[in-house]
């Protein structure tokens, strides 16, 4: 039995399956065999993969360069007995560690949700007796009985079925329930086409069946998905990768400069304690203590904004990742489409009619050649629609303002089309009461219903009965001897015309059903297959599809204009997927024919990893793909350098959702497994929300870059001031405690106010950032260096000027501290936009920034003039002349940066022209 679970069960005949499993197709397993199999295979549950312990996961959160810097800052401030500052910095490190610990625990939660999806009960036959047991007790070889409403408890090889239909959308992405049959299939048949298999956790929507369990627990297809979720890597986001790289570089710079400071001090004859304190001051000045807190708060603000736009963020860095996204891989069913079958076209009486409206709601109109028609003038169309309405076992349900269905989605679409045209279900059933039914069976591919006709609807030569048929085009046309023309006259059947119409519909991704009727020669109370073997009159074709969401069409266009590729990855057929892709406007690099626009999972399976990397970047539509292939596609795009967002709602999407840089799950129609694996959940299941999220993500990253561009000149300037003082052998212009005051207060009251800046114009008109682009570009690095130089010159120059004027060391240091703070304050207005001036944005458009500037100014006055603050921070009151010089320095910084920004705008404009 150990080797059996890997067999191609769909390829084997039922008798061989029965023999290999040592079970019976009628009696099931023997009671004595059950205990052995329970012991051998264990419970029918998914096992949780053992990973790192919670303590290991938590400790690993501190293993990052930026955290090393912050821990160093915490230790330094602790040694300086600055208990509050040390506690704040260590608190930031601890919060970041907790957030990281939570995000890395998501995989375990996803697996637990997947395991819950398998819970339930199962009906089995054991030793010839039909019993109900918990699903967890099903073992390989069990004979499992299925009926409408059941959740399949294990992977089954079907032995018999009667009108059995199973919804496999959460596993394969197929939008329509699959008709099942027990006959063997070719070995290479892909999972979505294995009609003789029933898979664990899928849902029986219609009919009955029986099959032998061939796989349970981790050996099932859903168990395989569980393994894929466990193996998928949680990737660092573009922001965290860049911050890690930036932090590592900064760490080495600080260590080198601190070492140079110690060396220079010793060469000047300073004591070891003095040189050590100077090195400490330099390190404290160069460390951007406020960066982690600012990053966390800015991301949290982004989370809040996106929640108002129906996007719930489960992992904060995902906000910024959306702004970096270069490719969105979207599931089709329920994401880009309505997940509601809709009749779009009916061909009857030699004419083809178009139906408006989407979904199950019976709202819309019928038109011919772009003109809305009245149904009473088109009798053959009426008869075709009536056939779809009456030869039907499904119903539309209107509840709480929403239209739903009871039964099969395809049949519900036929009901909706008939009601749109003006037919009434109650009136039709009253005028044509059903007498007998031939249910749909896989070997016949049609359904027939016998009705008694009211006198109003028959001519004197007609009997009281009519038989309506619906089914596949081949099965219906082969039974027809004639057709009805527009005037209801019987004419010879034109099979070439029908085939042409079917082919045209198929190219557009429409699913086609044919309809016919037969009027018996004599009244009858029953119908069988012999009655409909021949002599039917062809009524017409009804073509339907799961239509695209209108808002998805707009959103896809907006994403593509923003330079973000949109790709469709689905379990549906290639032609259907390509047709939907064309309707929503998907673009690809090689859209010269279907082969270069859409590709099937069967072809993907033959590609090497290198070939897949090239194909994944060029092709727009991937159809009939398995969960493993979805995961491979995401990995291939990432190898190509893309930042990938993956949307989905089914169990089959979970591994790819977890592997993607950002996974996006549907909140209303999505499974719990998908939600647990995702970084973001859309509460309205609306693809257009992703567009809003991308926009918001770009705005968050813009504001983060603005903060970094604003804060680094201070850190660089403080470090250079200390280094310059040590090299020149003079007193330090600012002390470590004063540096901490500058860094912590300005980061909160000035820098964080940039988080409230509105999105800049044209944010979605520019291409996405290239993943390899550093946070600080060459242009910004030059600006940071320029401002750093001006801060160093202003602070050190005013410090020395004050000493030359005969002022005390405390007054000189107070001047230097205020020069740094007000230099930052004026530079903050430059950083509201990296390209435009504050006058173009609106001077008072960011009221939070004005408030922060006001409070910061008040605190600096307290630092300068309050006796307690003078005592704590080594400051002293200064006069009006000093303030004039300080404010003059700040205005100079603002003016120089403003001129530099204007010159860059002009250069860009000239390059564009």
CB atoms under 10 Å from CB of 273, counted, come to 8
Q: What is d(CA 538, CA 349) in angstroms, rounded to the nearest whole number? A: 9
Q: Tokens 């504001």: give the residue.
A: 703
* CA dist list (Å): 721 to 281, 528, 784, 882: 10, 98, 15, 19
- Yes or no: say if 625 and 604 are a contact pair by the CB < 8 Å rule: yes
* Secondary structure, 3-state, 734-796: CCHHHHHHHHHHHHHHCHHHHHHCCCCCCCCCCCCCCCCCCCCCHHHHHHHHHHHHHHHHHHH
**173 vs 593: CA distance, rounded Å:** 24
Nearest to 339 by CA among 187, 73, 546, 176: 546
> If DSSP states are collapsed to H, E and C, what string results for 186-251?
CCCCCHHHCCCEECCCCEEEEEEEEEEEEECHHHCHHHHHHHHHHHCCCCCCHHHHHHHHHHHHHH
What's the DSSP call for residue 449?
E
Q: What is the largest CA-CA distance in the chain?
A: 124
Structure token digits, residue 240: 């965290």
Q: What share of the chain is helix, strand, coil (3-state, %, to 5)?
A: 55, 15, 30
Distance between CA atoms of 185 and 8, rounded to whole angstroms? 10
Q: What is the rounded distance in angstroms from the CA atom of residue 452 to the CA atom of residue 467?
A: 9
- Give me 408's structure tokens: 């099969």
Burial of 187 (0-12, 13-18, 19+ CB in 10 A): exposed
Q: Which residues contact 312 (CB under 8 A, 6 or more apart)?
A: 306, 667, 680, 681, 682, 683
Cβ-Cβ contacts under 8 Å for 910 (sequence gap 6 or more): none
62 burial (CB, 10 Å; 0-12 / 13-18 / 19+) is middle
At residue 867's C-alpha, the angle toward residues 861 and 869, to 5°, is 60
Cα(894)–Cα(823) distance, integer angstroms = 8
The Cβ of residue 226 has, within 10 Å, a number of other Cβ atoms equal to 26
CA-CA distance, 169 to 177, in Å (whole number)?
Answer: 8
Give long-range contacts, CB 8 A cutoff, 24+ apart: 501-504. 501/347, 501/352, 501/541, 502/473, 502/541
Residue ranges of alpha helices (H) inside 471-570 are 473-477, 495-507, 550-561
| Rounded CA separation 655/631 (Å) | 6
468 DSSP β-pair partners: 449, 517
Q: What distance in Å separates the CA atoms of residue 420 and residue 356, rounded to the nearest whole number? A: 9
Distance linking the first and last C-alpha atoms of the chain: 74
Task: Give the chain's length.
Answer: 913
* Given the residues 85, 142, 218, 331, the one annotated as active site: 331
- Residue 477: HSE in the Cβ half-sphere, 13 Å Cα cutoff: 17
Q: Please give the Cα distance from 864 to 503 (Å, whole number).
A: 84
Across 420-479, the runs of DSSP E, i.e. the strands, are 434-438, 446-452, 465-471
What is the DSSP-derived secondary structure letter of residue 536? E
Question: What's the token pair of residue 428?
Answer: 């039709």
Cα 50–52–53 angle (5° rounding)? Answer: 100
3-state secondary structure 346-367: EEECCEEEEECCCCCCCCCCEE
Could you count the other beta carbons within 10 Å of the beta carbon of residue 687?
28
Active site residue 331: yes
Active site residues: 331
């Amino acid at each position: 039995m150990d080797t059996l679970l890997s067999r191609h069960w769909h390829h084997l005949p039922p008798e061989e399956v029965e023999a290999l499993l040592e079970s019976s197709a009628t009696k099931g397993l023997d009671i004595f065999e059950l205990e052995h199999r329970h012991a051998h295979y264990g419970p029918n549950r998914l096992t949780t993969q053992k990973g790192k312990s919670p303590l290991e996961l938590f400790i690993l959160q501190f293993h990052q360069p930026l955290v090393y810097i912050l821990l160093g800052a915490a230790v330094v401030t602790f040694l300086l007995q600055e208990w509050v500052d040390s506690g704040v910095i260590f608190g930031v490190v601890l919060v970041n560690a907790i957030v990281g610990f939570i995000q890395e625990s998501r995989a375990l939660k996803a697996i637990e949700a997947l395991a819950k999806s398998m819970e339930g009960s199962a009906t089995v036959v054991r030793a010839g007796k039909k019993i109900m047991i918990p699903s967890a007790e099903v073992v390989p070889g069990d004979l499992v009985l299925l009926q409408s409403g059941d959740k399949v408890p294990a992977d089954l090889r079907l032995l018999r079925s009667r009108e059995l239909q199973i919804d496999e959308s959460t596993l394969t992405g197929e939008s329509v329930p699959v008709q099942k049959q027990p006959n063997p299939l070719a070995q290479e048949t892909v999972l979505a086409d294995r009609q003789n298999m029933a898979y664990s956790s899928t849902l029986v929507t219609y009919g009955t069946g029986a099959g032998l369990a061939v796989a349970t627990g981790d050996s099932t297809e859903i168990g395989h998905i569980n393994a894929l979720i466990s193996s998928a890597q949680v990737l660092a986001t573009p922001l965290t990768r860049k911050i890690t790289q930036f932090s590592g570089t900064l760490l080495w710079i600080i260590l080198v400069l601190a070492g140079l400071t110690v060396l220079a001090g010793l060469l000047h004859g300073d004591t070891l304690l003095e040189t050590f304190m100077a090195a400490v001051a330099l390190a404290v000045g160069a460390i951007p203590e406020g960066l982690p807190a600012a990053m966390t708060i800015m991301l949290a603000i982004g989370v809040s904004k996106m929640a108002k736009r129906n996007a719930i963020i489960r992992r904060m860095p995902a906000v910024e990742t959306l702004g970096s996204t270069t490719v969105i891989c979207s599931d089709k069913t329920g994401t880009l489409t309505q997940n509601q079958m809709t009749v779009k076209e009916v061909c009857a009486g030699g004419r083809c009619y178009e139906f408006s409206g989407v979904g199950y709601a019976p709202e819309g109109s019928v038109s011919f050649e772009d003109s809305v028609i009245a149904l009473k003038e088109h009798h053959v169309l009426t008869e075709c629609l009536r056939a779809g309405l009456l030869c039907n076992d499904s119903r539309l349900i209107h509840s709480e303002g929403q239209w739903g269905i009871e039964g099969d989605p395809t049949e519900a679409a036929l009901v909706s089309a008939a009601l749109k045209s003006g037919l009434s279900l109650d009136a039709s059933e009253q005028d044509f009461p059903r007498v007998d039914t031939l249910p749909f069976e896989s070997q016949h591919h049609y359904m027939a219903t016998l009705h008694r006709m009211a006198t109003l609807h028959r001519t004197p030569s007609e009997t009281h009965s009519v038989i309506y048929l619906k089914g596949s085009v081949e099965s219906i046309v082969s039974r027809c001897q004639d057709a009805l023309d527009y005037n209801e006259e019987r004419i010879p059947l034109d099979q070439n015309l029908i085939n042409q119409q079917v082919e045209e519909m198929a190219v557009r991704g429409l699913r086609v059903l044919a309809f016919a009727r037969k009027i018996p020669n004599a009244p009858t109370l029953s119908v069988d297959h012999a009655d409909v073997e021949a002599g039917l009159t062809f009524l017409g074709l009804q073509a339907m599809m799961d239509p695209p969401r209108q808002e998805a069409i707009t959103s896809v266009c907006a994403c593509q204009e923003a330079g973000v590729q949109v790709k469709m990855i689905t379990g549906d057929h290639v032609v259907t997927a390509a047709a939907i892709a064309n309707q929503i406007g998907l673009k690809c690099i090689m859209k010269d024919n279907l082969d270069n626009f859409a590709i099937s999972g069967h072809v993907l399976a033959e590609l090497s990893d290198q070939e897949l990397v090239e194909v994944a970047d060029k092709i727009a539509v991937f159809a009939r793909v398995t969960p493993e292939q979805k995961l491979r596609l995401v990995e291939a795009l990432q190898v190509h350098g893309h930042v990938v967002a993956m949307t989905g709602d089914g169990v089959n999407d979970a591994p790819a959702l977890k592997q993607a840089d950002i996974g996006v799950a549907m909140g209303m129609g999505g499974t719990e497994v998908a939600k647990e694996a995702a970084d973001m959940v859309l509460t309205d299941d609306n693809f257009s929300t992703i567009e809003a999220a991308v926009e918001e993500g770009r705005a968050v990253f813009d504001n983060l870059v603005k903060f970094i561009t604003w804060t680094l000149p201070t850190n660089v300037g403080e470090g250079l001031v200390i280094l310059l003082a040590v090299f020149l052998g003079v007193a330090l212009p600012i002390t470590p405690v004063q540096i901490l005051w500058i860094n912590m207060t300005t980061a909160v009251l000035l820098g964080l106010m940039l988080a409230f800046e509105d999105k800049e114009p044209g944010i979605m008109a520019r291409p996405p950032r290239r993943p390899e682009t550093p946070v600080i570009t060459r242009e910004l690095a030059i600006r940071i260096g320029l401002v750093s130089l001006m801060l160093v010159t202003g602070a050190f120059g005013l410090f020395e000027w004050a000493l030359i004027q005969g002022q005390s060391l405390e007054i000189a240091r107070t001047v230097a501290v205020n020069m740094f703070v007000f230099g930052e304050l004026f530079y903050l207005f430059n950083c509201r936009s990296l390209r435009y001036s504050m006058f173009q944005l609106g001077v008072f458009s960011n009221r939070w920034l004005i408030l922060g500037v006001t409070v910061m100014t008040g605190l600096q006055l307290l630092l300068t003039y309050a006796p307690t603050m003078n005592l704590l921070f080594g400051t002293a009151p200064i006069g009006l002349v000093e303030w004039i010089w300080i404010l003059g320095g700040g205005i100079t910084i603002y003016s120089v940066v403003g001129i530099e920004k204007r010159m860059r705008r002009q250069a860009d404009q000239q390059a564009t022209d």
